[in-house]
Amino acid sequence: MTRRTAVDGHVHIHPHADLAALLEAAVGNLSRLAGEGAGPCLLLTETARADVFAEMRAGRRVPPGWTIETPAADPAAIVACRGSHRLLLVAGRQIVTSEKLEVLALATCDRFADGASLDETLEALHAAGIPAVLPWGLGKWIGKRGGIVADRIARAKPGVILGDNKGRPIGWPAPRIFNADRGGIVLPGSDPLPIPGSETVVGSYGFLLEGGLDGDRPAADLSARLHGLTAQPPVFGTRLGPVAALRAQLALRRAKRAGVVA
């Protein structure tokens, strides 16, 4: 019986990612870090240029040895199965606002255009009943943009949550708004970069929810639970050390210069 749900709250499947390696890493990391009885779950945060979730759900992109189950009552969820392993993947999008801030729209197949303001984006998600996460990003929460994030969190409507990711180096000071008046709720995720080998980090940083998710409507159940959070859920895994984080950023810059990343 599933006693907990282990959730990686920020997962990209990049165009050139080894999907088999990603699924294997997710199962291994989540089971190792969250312990027995924890149902593994990935919250996808796909950009406007990707829709791997739809490809997997339609059976067009399924690694050898894996099968896909599609809950009929929940179009925003699929279950990847291999042997005794069952890995829940929940659809979601990453939106880039006009301020160049990121917003994660979780547990939804809806698509939202990049380029709207942060206020417009959050209002659209609120109107649709979609949980919204403002994830930390290197250099994105300082100066004017940092003030915008702090202001919006201070007056945010229910369902707007802060996010952390594995790339915030160990020892890097936690943003002050992580301890804000909204209870300091922060949802962690691995946030793999579009660089070779990044698949291995999936499932290595996340949070725990009590109990299993509804088998017929897991994405809807997850959405409701995120809207109802009143305290910080337990966190599992670790962030990158300073040297590893620097190497990852240098690899990302090389990928951008090579035209691999837009």
Name the more confident of 179 and 11.
11
| Residues contacting residue 204 through CB under 8 Å, at least 6 positions apart | 8, 25, 29, 33, 166, 190, 237, 238
Question: How is 173-232 classified by DSSP, letter by letter?
Answer: PPPGGGGSTT---EEEE----SSTTGGGGTTSEEEEEESPPPSSSHHHHHHHHHHT--SP
* pLDDT band at 149; cut points 50, 70, 90: very high
Yes or no: say if 40 and 87 are a contact pair by the CB < 8 Å rule. Answer: yes
* pLDDT band at 255; cut points 50, 70, 90: confident
What average pLDDT score do residues 165-179 get? 91
What average pLDDT score do residues 98-119 get? 96
Residue 3 has pLDDT above 90, yes or no: no
d(CA 1, CA 42): 19
d(CA 129, CA 149): 20
Residue 115 has pLDDT above 60, yes or no: yes
Q: What 8-state DSSP symbol labels residue 233? A: P
Separation in Å, CA 235 to CA 60, 205, 230? 34, 8, 15
What average pLDDT score do residues 36-53 get? 93
Residue 216 has pLDDT above 70, yes or no: yes
Most confident region among 28-42, 95-109, 167-181 by mean pLDDT: 95-109
Residue 15 has pLDDT above 90, yes or no: no
| pLDDT confidence of residue 36 | 78
Mean of per-residue pLDDT scores for the chain: 92
**Which residues are 169's β-sheet partners?**
none
What average pLDDT score do residues 227-236 get? 93
Residue 1 has pLDDT above 60, yes or no: no
| pLDDT confidence of residue 252 | 84
Residue 261 has pLDDT above 80, yes or no: no
d(CA 203, CA 128): 28
pLDDT above 70 covers a percentage of the chain that reads 96
What average pLDDT score do residues 105-112 get? 97
What average pLDDT score do residues 106-129 get? 96
Model pLDDT for residues 192-209, shown as the tens digit of each residue: 999 889 999 999 999 999
Instruction: Write out the H or E segment, with its range, that includes residue 44.
Output: strand 38-44
* pLDDT band at 32; cut points 50, 70, 90: very high
What average pLDDT score do residues 77-103 get? 97
Q: Is the dihedral of CA 58, 89, 136, 125 positive or negative?
A: positive
What average pLDDT score do residues 3-26 get? 95
In degrees, rounded to 5, the angle at the alpha carbon of residue 109 between the alpha carbons of residues 87 and 136 is: 75
Yes or no: say if 229 and 203 are a contact pair by the CB < 8 Å rule. Answer: no
